[in-house]
Amino acid sequence: MKVDKEIKFDIVEKIAILSTDSKGWSKELNLVSWNDAEPKFDIRSWSEDHSRMGKGITLSEEEVSVLLEVLKTKLES
């Protein structure tokens, strides 16, 4: 038997809107607390009123630091 658990989230800080599509959904970088856990960096698409979300990726501060270094290296080459 499948039990659907409601996902609880709190957008602690809106950092950046990366893009917006023709339907008004925006791909955003935010600091989000999922199910009352420690906030993490989160990249995903959100509806205009943030009532719906698409699939995304959540990263710890360590993972964001590694990603930043990799991107710096890649963009400088």
Dump pLDDT digits (tens) for 20-77: 999 999 999 999 999 999 999 999 999 999 999 999 999 999 999 999 999 999 999 8
Asked if the structure places residue 4 within a domain, the reply is no
Dump pLDDT digits (tens) for 2-34: 667 788 999 999 999 999 999 999 999 999 999
Residues 29 and 44: beta-carbon distance below 8 Å? no
Structural domain count of the chain: 1
Residue 18 Cα distances to 3, 4, 5, 26, angstroms: 34, 31, 29, 7
Looking up residue 46, the CATH number of its domain turns out to be: 2.30.31.70
The torsion region of residue 56 among left (phi > 0), alpha (psi -120 to 50) and beta comes to: beta
Query: What range does the domain containing 56 cover?
Result: 9-76
Can you read off the two tokens belonging to residue 1? Answer: 């038997």
Whole-prediction pTM: 0.87
